[in-house]
Amino acid sequence: MHRNHCLFFERMIGMSLLIKNASFVITFNDRDEVLEKADVLIEGQKIIAVGKDLFFNLTEKPQVIDAQGMAVLPGLVNTHHHLYQTLFRGLPEVQGMPLFYWLVNLYEFWRHIIPDAVYYGAMVGFSELLRTGCTLTTDHHYVFPRGRASHFIDTQITAAQEIGIRFHATRGSMSLGKSEGGLPPDEVVQDEETILRDSQRLIETYHDPSDFAMIRLALAPCSPFSVSLDLMRESQILANEKGVMLHTHLAETLDEEAFCLERYGRRPVELMEDVNWIGENVWFAHAIHLNRREIDLLARSGSGVAHCPSSNMKLGSGICPTSDLFKAGVKLGIAVDGSASNDGSNMWEEVRRAYLLNHLRYKDEGLSAYETLKCATRGGADVLGRPDTGRIEAGKAADVILMDLKDVAYAGSHDPLVSIVCCGNQSIVDTTIVNGKVVVQKGQLLTQNTEEIRKKAHQVACEIVQKERGLKK
């Protein structure tokens, strides 16, 4: 870490912050307030006041951030990712392929991942997310190569704690290998006893159910074509016992739908009903190929959806019915998905693409810029069961970002909401505050040296890819 960055970060820890005279504060509170020339006061890990010319009576004078010309809003929430995939971006072997073919080819590379790959893959993804305004992210790690260390989730949690991001780790899994009719090779699947035992260990070691928790756990069998129904049922039972959430890929492609119909005689959502995977403690990635009954079921049950626009476009999976989901009352968040199917962990880019892709499908009946941003902030927090964040109001977590509207990219734009969603030259935020601590300032990460991360991550990535290519020669 650069020493000047380190000193600044040390000064910020435990201090009160006053974000002063923001041009716009987009709150996403229950009244949907957008305030002009307003302040946000933070003490410790909480927002304690929002308004104009705030009076403060604190134990120490707050650090003041001049937000004139800035838009202030809650940190973005990333509801689905595969952090290790940051090391497998731009592989020519998989470009232009649909999901099943893409996966079959990538499994051959992923079978070589090691703890360093998991650590630096996470650090790359976290760095990108924080610099593009994400304060809370989840991750779905499901690849545990046979014979290798299995403490990959612990490694991700260590990286999250070191870099300073709020993190929901999920213990992903694959148990249905190719020999039993699944998609992944047997070399990257685990037996159900091992999966459930490690799931329980992780929950008991790391899960924090309290408000403002920095680390939570969820259970995440990968997909209908890579796990057994028994594992889905047992994971659901364990999650209920331990009070954690459930997550999986669902209704992503027509190939998945055909697989479920052929193997089980059920559509993907029907399959989830059969194994009691519908409810307020469940969220699904993608949810593209849904009928009206299924959308209504997700709404009634309180299930959530992580919309992954870039991944869905790149893999040709389809267009998520976001307006139908939103209007039905389904909890809807936005996500970057794995960087090998994206190829970045850029939350602002996902917001823009979610807005544009929605209008491609729904035209003038599409979601507004405000509604899209609401999905990326409050909506994502609700999907992850976090009503303590995703809003700017007193009593909520101090997860706040500042966007500089003085940049030339916003010249000639007359609405701040439309500006920050649609003016596509800006993705790096000015400031990111997580849990009351400034972790990005003037677009630069303060908690880690990104150049060191880049070098080490790229070295590990090259070694893994070269190893697999060497085996194929």
Long-range contacts of 59-64 (CB under 8 A, 24+ apart): 60/15, 60/16, 61/16, 62/15, 62/16, 62/17, 62/18, 63/11, 63/12, 63/15, 63/16, 63/17, 63/18, 64/17, 64/18, 64/20
Residue 44, C-beta contacts closer than 8 angstroms, at least 6 positions apart: 14, 16, 398, 436
Res. 59 pLDDT band, cuts 50 70 90: low
Q: Tell me the mean pLDDT in the region 160-186.
A: 95
Q: What pLDDT was estimated at residue 425?
A: 81
Q: What percent of the chain has pLDDT over 90?
A: 88
Res. 244 pLDDT band, cuts 50 70 90: very high
Q: Tell me the mean pLDDT in the region 151-162.
A: 98
Taking 60 as the threshold, does the pLDDT of residue 4 lie above it?
no
Q: What pLDDT was estimated at residue 3?
A: 34
Q: Tell me the mean pLDDT in the region 167-181.
A: 95
Cβ–Cβ < 8 Å for 47, 395: yes
Q: What pLDDT was estimated at residue 472?
A: 76
- The average confidence (pLDDT) of the chain is 93
Cβ–Cβ < 8 Å for 242, 248: no
Q: Tell me the mean pLDDT in the region 136-160.
A: 93
Q: What pLDDT was estimated at residue 58?
A: 62
Find the distance separating the first CA and the last CA of the chain, reported in whole Å.
40
Res. 107 pLDDT band, cuts 50 70 90: very high
Separation of alpha carbons 199 and 221, rounded Å: 11
Q: Tell me the mean pLDDT in the region 17-22.
A: 96
Write out pLDDT tens, residues 280-306. Answer: 999 999 999 999 999 999 999 999 999
* DSSP per-residue letters across 96-128: T--HHHHHHHHHHHHTT--HHHHHHHHHHHHHH
Res. 1 pLDDT band, cuts 50 70 90: very low
Separation of alpha carbons 78 and 267, rounded Å: 27
Structural domains in the chain plus CATH codes: 3-74+391-442 (2.30.40.10), 76-383 (3.20.20.140)
Least confident of 1-15, 66-80, 102-116, 129-143: 1-15
Write out pLDDT tens, residues 438-456. Answer: 999 999 999 999 999 999 9
Write out pLDDT tens, residues 194-213. Answer: 999 999 999 999 999 999 99
The pTM of this model reads: 0.95
